[in-house]
Structure 1
Amino acid sequence: MSAQTTEEAEGPAEDAAARAAERRREQHGWYFYDFACSVYSTSVLTVFLGPYLTAVAKAAADAQGYVHPLGIPVRAGSFFAYAVSASVITAVLVMPLVGAAADRSGRKKPLLAAAAYTGAAATTAMFFLGGERYLLGGFLLIVANASLSVSMVLYNAYLPQIAEPDERDTVSSRGWAFGYTSGAFVLVLNLVLFQGHDSFGLTEGAAVRICLASAGLWWGAFAIIPLKRLRDRAVVRHAVPGGAASGWKQLIATLKDMRRHPLTLAFLLAYLIYNDGIQTVISQASVYGSEELDLSQSTLIVAVLLVQVLAVAGALGMGRLARSYGAKRTILGSLVAWTFTLAAGFFLPSGAPVAFFLLASMIGLVLGGSQALSRSLFSHLVPAGKEAEYFSAYEMSDRGVSWVGPLVFGLTYQVTGSYRDAIISLVAFFALGFVLLARVPVREAVAAAGNPVPDRI
């Protein structure tokens, strides 16, 4: 072989190696956005903000226990729930609009930066939620929660661009693992500060406000890494017209476009249903533990920490299983595991923290993997150039439409008076989601979206 021929052969190989190195660099940066923002979900939403904002609202309430935001009488104990609902509505209106703008312009990174730092600033400002400032707390919660949802649309939309089809299960699982790792680490630091606030010369309220603000500082600090490493791509094709329209109109346009990809829509429906079950278990597990199982607040916080730690192993372990058996089969297996977990929860004895910790361990092991693989599987079903637009619909399924499960849980308790009956009622979501997902021919769906079909999916 001549020297010229050898150089020609080496050229493409060197280019491929350079592209692979650049792809790995972006992937490593991408992981760190989960690492940055997951602290908000764990420490702020799951542990500290609800009880603290409720206490602030009660301090501002009238003699009948009502506060009056915008002149509307609201029970102080309901204010946090209503603020969360308002944040979901805000996100639902904004996510499709931002997704379409990102696809149309190809500039995801500036939009991601804007959403990330808006959310981080709002979370950091929660340090000032003293006294009776419940309105400030509600406003900051709405801004932070909606910003997180918008940023996750843009973050998820990078996955098809930074990972080859055969890499996505692994890359997505590592992202979730990074997020759960940071959530667990910061929660440990927060709990040390909270439990020992007297030794630090702090009141309990001051310790909580520092924990809340620290989540915002963490979010903003580590968001720098993905914003430095991720890069924008040239636009493949324009998004659905109507980017200047309202969020709802853009969502309708996106769903109409999805009708051209019915198999993608079929997966999204299955995901919406089983994810509703997952989100309801996450949100109602503490209620079940405190009200039905008579467990202390400290026991519930330790259980949350246990879930975070084991979710790292679960996400990575299920990512490995997906490489051998495919994402679809692994997700189906996780839905079976969720069903057995709920059955075990139904039979848990009251006043038994060790048994509850075992239940939390089961949840942690299937939680991260089922979410990570769902994201990576959906990334194969998105037409090129419409990543942010389609992931806005996916994110709405994840965050904006998960209200049916809590409604079923609440209605079951209202009719039966038993939280055990309420928790077992959620099996229906996993069973129906299993059936709908099993019916989706994912290889055909990937091909129909115009994407290369991985060897294992």
Structure 2
Amino acid sequence: MGSDTRAAAEQAPNGHDRRREQRGWYFYDWACSVYSTTVLTVFLGPYLTSVAENAADAEGFVHPLGVPVRAGSFFPYCVSVSIVLAILLMPLAGALADRTGRKKPLLAAAAYTGACATAAMFLLDGDRYLLGGLLLIVANASLAVSMVLYNAFLPQIAAPAERDTVSSRGWAFGYASGSLMLVVNLVLYSGHDSFGLSESEAVRICLASAGVWWGAWALIPLRALRDRRAAPGAGPAVNGWRQLAATLREMRRRPLTLAFLLAYLCYNDGIQTVISQASVYGSRELGLDQTTLIVAILLVQVLAVGGALGLGRLARVYGAKRTILGSLVAWTLVLLAAFFLPARAPVFFFVLAAVIGLGLGGSQALSRSLFSHLIPPGKEAEYFSAYEMSDRGMSWLGPLIFGLTYQLTGSYRDAILSLIVFFLIGFALLARIPVRSAIAATGNPVPERI
């Protein structure tokens, strides 16, 4: 028995312990997904843009660090900066996790840094756009680092045949959590007068509540999950970038794994940008009010629960690769439809939100589970560090292109249309990958349907 095989056997929990860890693992999606929905998708984009507009000069520009930036571009630029910071931190987190076997303490540090930064968003008011940008950068980077460590548990707590289902359930938990919190947000925001709150105060409470929720529910996975021994032969923790370089050199011997990461980098960049910029597009280009946007995002969350589970079932019939490719076609059609949406027409926006909800969770969940088959045993956090570089870590290009397109044209419609290229390239790259050969090349068992 080889060392990798022995490591996998030593780390595989029995059935009861495995199910207990899986249940605990789901709750990190439940904890942190509220940040993605309440903060990044619904409230912070329009609110931080309005704060930046309060601080703007007569030409509509703010000047962070002396650089002229159109107020409407400040939020997407901050998203890009946060992801560049994550790029610097994620390889270090992945290397430390694999070399020390201490995923849980690192997950706790990242989770509570992000939760505290999110809770501090209650302090945003007036023209404090620089504080808002700083808190966004810290929270977003912390979330990305925590997801490296969270995802790295998946191959250790789920057998190969279970991973599509376990990953999809995790996403479903996240979308259910986001839906529940958005209902509370909708009640608070729409009835802020009856609660004796200004609109700004209601938004800031909604932002801060996401941080409190994130920190409180993160306790469950931190209690349920357990650390494993470091990979055999692992030396002391090394510089994260050297470890990432070593990982990429090793991936050159697994070119199909590297090809999947490249495909995922492309199409997921488009997905992440649509998620983060949807509320800005709806409020600034389509003239929709905040209540309409909350209801639309709530619709996305509710349908994404069923969508994630439904696409998981489709993957069992047609395979994960074909199901993902079908979702990329749907994403392309969504962006084309968004470009032609009439302003101040919430019904059409709701229809588009429904389509997004049905495809959103499944495409991401199946990508995560498919990649887990492409990792050699004992390299989980290391490889998922590279995966997160393709997930949140390299998703700076989409917001940057979105922001630049708006800065140059002044049109959010042009900005949203520019994102189609990410889905087209991602589809073309993924379609060329023989996934069965890729899994076999890592030495992992090939599922009957993949």
CA-CA distance at 1:58 after TM superposition: 4.7
| Cα distance change of structure 1 residues 342 and 205 upon mapping to structure 2, 3 Å threshold | closer
Contact 1:88 1:146 in 2 (8 A): yes
User: Which of the residues 99, 102, 113 maps onto 1:104?
Assistant: 99
2:139 aligned partner: 144
Question: Kindly tell me: are residues 415 and 44 of structure 1, through their superposed partners in 2, closer, same or farther at Cα, counting changes over 3 Å?
Answer: closer
User: Residue 193 of structure 1 aligns with which residue?
Assistant: 188
- Corresponding residue number in structure 1 for 2:423: 430
Amino acid at match of 1:200: F
Counting only pairs closer than 5 Å after superposition, residues 262-411 of structure 1 correspond to structure 2 as 262-290=255-283, 293-406=286-399
Amino acid at match of 1:356: F
Compared CA separation, residues 456 and 154, structure 1 to 2 (3 A) = same
Decide which moves more: 41-50 or 106-115. Answer: 41-50
1:160-214 C-alpha deviation (Å, 9 max, x unpaired): 0000000000000010011011111111111211121111112222222211111
Question: Which of 14, 19, 22 pairs up with 1:19?
Answer: 14
Shift in alpha-carbon separation, 1:353–1:81, aligned structure 2, 3 A: closer
Partners of 2:50 and 2:402 lie apart in 1 by: 25
Which residue pairs with 1:50 in the alignment? 45
Check the 8 A contact 1:293/1:349 in 2, yes or no.
yes
Compared with structure 1, are the counterparts of its residues 315 and 395 closer, same or farther at alpha carbon in structure 2 (3 Å cutoff)? same
Counterpart of 2:331 in structure 1: which amino acid? W
Aligned to 1:222: 217
The 5 Å alignment of 1:11-160 reads 19-59=14-54, 69=64, 77-160=72-155
CA deviation string 1:231-273 (max 9, x = no partner): 111123456x89543x544433322221121110011111111
In the alignment, the residues of structure 2 paired with residue 64 and residue 350 of structure 1 have an alpha-carbon distance, to the nearest angstrom, of: 25
Q: Distance in 2 between matches of 1:407 and 1:304?
A: 23
| Larger deviation, residues 116-125 vs 309-318 | 116-125
Give yes or no for contact 2:331–2:356 (8 Å, CA) kept in 1: yes
Q: Secondary structure at the match of 1:232?
A: coil
The one-letter code sitting in structure 1 at the alignment partner of 2:212 is L
CA change 1:80–1:227 in 2 (3 A) is same
Measure, in 1, the Cα distance between the counterparts of 2:129 and 2:341.
Answer: 37
Q: Give the whole-Å Cα distance in 2 for the aligned partners of 1:311 and 1:153.
A: 22
Distance 1:238 1:257 in 2: 16
Give how far 1:415 is off. Answer: 8.5
Q: CA deviation at 1:88?
A: 1.3
CA contact (8 A) 1:104 1:238 kept: no
Instruction: Give the Cα–Cα distance (whole angstroms) in 1 for the partners of residues 257 and 378 of structure 2.
Output: 15
SS at match of 2:448: coil
- Deviation track 1:41-84 (CA, whole Å, cap 9, x = no partner) reads 11111222233334444555677766565566656554434433
One-letter amino acid of the counterpart of residue 452, structure 1:
P
Distance 1:320 1:402, change over 3 A: same
Q: What is the CA–CA distance in structure 2 between the aligned matches of 1:304 and 1:167, rounded to whole Å?
A: 30
Structure 2 residue runs of 5 or longer lacking an equivalent are 1-11
Contact 1:30 1:226 in 2 (8 A): yes
RMSD value, Cα = 2.8
1:172 matched residue in structure 2: 167
The answer (yes or no) to whether the contact 2:31–2:177 under 8 Å persists in 1 is yes
Shift of the 78–98 alpha-carbon distance from structure 1 to 2, 3 Å rule, reads same
- Check whether the contact 1:238–1:385 (CA below 8 A) recurs between aligned residues: no
C-alpha distance in 2 between matches for 1:51 and 1:393? 31
SS in 1 for 2:14: helix
C-alpha offsets along residues 96-129 of structure 1, whole Å, 9 cap, x if unaligned?
0110110011110111011111111121122233
Which one-letter code corresponds to 1:229 in the other structure? A
Task: Rate the CA distance shift 1:298–1:331 in 2: closer, same or farther, 3 A.
Answer: same
Q: Give the conservation status (yes or no) of the 8 Å contact 1:32–1:175.
A: yes
1:416–1:353 Cα change, 3 Å = same
- TM-score, normalising length from structure 1? 0.87
Which letter does structure 2 place at the counterpart of 1:149? Answer: A
Name 1:455's counterpart in structure 2.
448
Higher relative contact order (CA 8 A, sep 6+): 2
Q: How many residues align?
A: 439
Alignment counterpart, residue 248 of structure 2, candidates 255, 258, 265: 255
Judged with a 3 Å threshold, the aligned counterparts in structure 2 of structure 1 residues 18 and 27 are, in CA distance, closer, same or farther, namely closer
Residues 77 and 403, structure 2, Cα contact 8 Å, conserved in 1: no
